[in-house]
Structure 1
Amino acid sequence: MRTKFGSVVYRADRKSYRAKYTYRGEIITKTFKDQLSAQAWLNNERSRVEADKAGITKWTSPTERKRQKTAIERRRVLFCDYVMEEFAPTWLEYAADGSELAAGSKRKHREYLSHLSHADFWKYPLTGITTEDINRWLSNLDNFNGGATPRKKTFQLLKAIYAKAVAEGAVTKSPVTMKAPAVPKSRQAQIPPATAEELQTIYANMPSTTRIAVWLGAILDLRIGEVVSLQVQDWNPKTQTLRVCHSADEHGGLKATKTATSNTTQPVPPQLGKLISEACNGKQPTDFIVTCANGSRITPNRLRDHFNTAKVKAGRPDLHFHTLRATSITAAVATGASLKDTMVWGRHADAQTSIERYQRASGTERMREIANGIESNLMGHEATEEELEEAIRATKKRLEELEAQLAALRHQNR
């Protein structure tokens, strides 16, 4: 049906009516289910065109009108509504790769979201928040009682929210243009790694069913949750490898490792392999390698208690079980491990963690060893009387240890 203004055409193939008109070189169309609705729309468009010709109101295409309407609606959207309706539902439950977050990570995400909800701009329009608003918020974060890490994580949450808003066209650009708040190095990160002698003392002073945990942490770089979750079936004595595929959840059950990179198969050196085989002897495949004295599964907290009691006897009350990971990295660097080796061995999810661990392990003391070695090679060195006496004492001690090992081995082979 043609009219003085445009047309309405029935499309039998789609069982619909298409209204159409041309104005200012643009062909404007819209499809409807019935003829009356199509004609009503066409009449409304004719009124807009006539108003434009009369200089009353400026004509814009339906597409441009929709774009303007959307922009107005977006300006009315509050930041809090966008966060809770568009961002939080996914962010609170899932990681960037689509995998479901662990219970602990979900709890942390809720914590960071709660911190953000106390910002002055929480109920501002999404498009109305300025860089100045965020800078004022950051200055108040100096008194934030949640700690340096939650402060930085909350800022990163804000940045991620605006990154999504920009990508979706909800805002034209992000007001989050500043750097994230700095996080000072934790006290735990400054704890010196354990020495071989200290580890031996800790090992000797732990119960027989849990002492192997010391070497699993210090040699294989395992976290305490991974240690208590190792099962007999994870140990392959033929290939001398240990599969690390679980950690401990907060209810005592098994969960996935902390990160995807943590899930791996570690090569096991011979002495530790012998200890693991002894710990697995007589057990079923699904039994745990590190256990309580009665053979039941041990929790991370209980194992930590065993470790904490023994570390005092080693004269290292400052140690944490997690320090054993730094001990492992330090020993790896001492054997010549590169930064790339450290990243693989440490199973870190991000390179920055490996870089920090590597730099620390190859720091001042390592540089002093290198300097001393260069000097010795280039200048030579005449030992002092004290140095010779100390070398003799160390040699005698080492000789006694070797004789004791030899005697024990001969007794074992009789």
Structure 2
Amino acid sequence: MGRKRRFGRVRKLPSGRFQARYHGPDGIDRPAPYTFASKTDADRWLTRVEADMLAGTWRDPKLGRVNLGAYLTEWIDHRPGLRVKTIELYRWLYRKCIEPSIGARNLDDITPGRVRAWYAELLAAGVSATTAAKAYRLLRAVLNTAVDDELIRRNPCRIKGAGSEPTPERPAATVAQVLDLADRVPARYRALILLAAFTGLRYGELVALRRRHVDDQAATVTVVATVIEPKDGPLYFGPPKSTAGLRTVTVPAAIRPEVKAHLDAYVPEDPDALVFTSSRGTVLRRSNFQRATTWRTTVAAAGLPDFHFHDLRHTGNTLAAASGASLRTLMARMGHGSTRAALIYQHTSQREDASIADALSKQIKRERARNGHVGEKRKKK
């Protein structure tokens, strides 16, 4: 006869496999969550459970019997400070990438091997590397919270590099191309192109600008809001992406006359009047702007095929960096960085930001002199 176990017990089932049972710290008799091929395997499992109990790290196995889909949905709903577009992205990633394969599983059923298989299945199904990386980061973040909630012991998302998405370099226009593009769009959008490229403001920040956010000489613009366009529902005004987004940016002197001319021609005197609107005076949606400017055709004619509006911001970043500005100053001008960083830069970057604007202004003037630009708006029908 074999020696009786000091902790737990093992019995052979009619199937030939072995079942392990033990009494937990709460006195409840529990079976192992699965059976074993041999008595030795069952004994080893019980030894590990006993060690966890002695070390105080034992946890009720029922805690992990929580459905991933339900937990992830609640995680999104209870996540503080998420922007509407981020919520939309997370829900879409869950529906497209997570729910079909592992959404119905319980948290403690999601092993490192299951995560590796899920990730490989995504890529094999033709999901782009960028989308797969976003889905992986979402799953990892949700399961990190499950660890904090003590529902699972360790996060099973352990694939090195899976959360790093490829970031192909977007094109940056030259000063000449920006000026050419500004010449080609309808006159009411000329200043929008120039400010996007030479101040680096985001589209949402630009269309949220009001007359009072532009100083009397058009020397600076102050960002206090952004326009958010959800896929479902009406657009609305919200805060910038981060506290660092609240900033005042110097406008290059070479384009200030065109900004002032835009204000005179298209913006009512009301301090709350929007600076950039549709031809009907409404908030300028991206889709309306694309149609009004025949964007794809226009950028192609300017020698910038596949050029996105956001690439104007990338252009501004590139030109500003070429002026010799420090990383700190660039981050402040572009509205990047942590809250702490933004508070530090708030009082120290204005002089350096003006230097960036001055360097950009000189580039604009040189390009206009070289190509005969005089800063006049091309008349559009």
Equivalence for 1:385? none
Say whether residues 1:107 and 2:88 are aligned partners: yes
Contact 1:93 1:106 in 2 (8 A): no
Residue 309 of structure 1 deviates from its aligned partner by 4.5
Please, which runs of 5 or more residues in structure 1 have no aligned partner? 1-56, 351-394, 409-414
Residue-pair matches, total:
290
Contact 1:210 1:292 in 2 (8 A): no
Residue 131 of structure 1 deviates from its aligned partner by 1.4
Equivalence for 2:60? 71
Say whether residues 1:339 and 2:327 are aligned partners: yes
Contact 1:212 1:275 in 2 (8 A): yes
Letter in 1 for 2:189: T
Q: Deviations over 1:323-371 (max 9, x none)?
A: 1111111111211123333322222358xxxxxxxxxxxxxxxxxxxxx
SS at match of 1:194: coil
Q: Which has the larger radius of gyration?
A: 1
TM-score using structure 1 length: 0.61
Alpha-carbon distance in structure 2 between the residues aligned to 1:203 and 1:59: 73
Contact 1:232 1:285 in 2 (8 A): yes
Alpha-carbon distance in structure 1 between the residues aligned to 2:251 and 2:220: 5
Runs (4+) of structure 1 exceeding 6 A deviation are 57-64, 67-70
Residue 108 of structure 1 deviates from its aligned partner by 0.8
Letter in 1 for 2:260: S
Residue 213 of structure 1 deviates from its aligned partner by 0.8
Alpha-carbon distance in structure 1 between the residues aligned to 2:155 and 2:218: 53
Residue 232 of structure 1 deviates from its aligned partner by 0.7
Contact 1:221 1:324 in 2 (8 A): yes
Say whether residues 1:210 and 2:194 are aligned partners: no
Residue 231 of structure 1 deviates from its aligned partner by 1.1
Selected match of 2:253 from 270, 294, 302: 270
Contact 1:222 1:325 in 2 (8 A): yes
Alpha-carbon distance in structure 2 between the residues aligned to 1:174 and 1:399: 60
- Structure 1 vs Structure 2: percent identity of aligned residues? 21
Q: Deviations over 1:80-130 (max 9, x none)?
A: 2xx514x53242463xxx32x33322211111222212224x444422432
Task: Go from structure 1 to structure 2 and tell me whether the alpha carbon gap of 1:135 and 1:107 turns closer, same or farther (over 3 Å shift).
Answer: same
Q: Deviations over 1:290-309 (max 9, x none)?
A: 23345444322222341444
Selected match of 2:110 from 129, 134, 146: 129
Say whether residues 1:257 and 2:240 are aligned partners: yes
Equivalence for 2:6? none
TM-score using structure 2 length: 0.66
Contact 1:201 1:310 in 2 (8 A): no
Say whether residues 1:165 and 2:151 are aligned partners: no
Letter in 2 for 1:262: G
SS at match of 2:187: coil
Q: How does 1:13-412 map to 2 (within 5 A)?
A: 71-75=60-64, 77-80=65-68, 83-85=69-71, 87-92=72-77, 94=79, 98-99=80-81, 101-114=82-95, 115-120=97-102, 122-181=103-162, 182-186=164-168, 189-191=169-171, 193-237=172-216, 240-250=219-229, 251-281=234-264, 282-305=268-291, 306=293, 307-348=295-336, 398=369
Higher mean C-alpha displacement, 333-342 vs 309-318? 309-318
Alpha-carbon distance in structure 1 between the residues aligned to 2:153 and 2:371: 75
Letter in 1 for 2:137: Q
SS at match of 2:222: strand
Alpha-carbon distance in structure 2 between the residues aligned to 1:239 and 1:312: 30
Contact 1:248 1:300 in 2 (8 A): no
Residue 62 of structure 1 deviates from its aligned partner by 7.7
Letter in 2 for 1:311: V
Residue 180 of structure 1 deviates from its aligned partner by 4.0
Q: Deviations over 1:56-82 (max 9, x none)?
A: x98967899xx999604225x1442xx
Alpha-carbon distance in structure 1 between the residues aligned to 2:24 and 2:306: 75
CA RMSD of aligned residues (A): 3.4
Alpha-carbon distance in structure 2 between the residues aligned to 1:61 and 1:310: 72
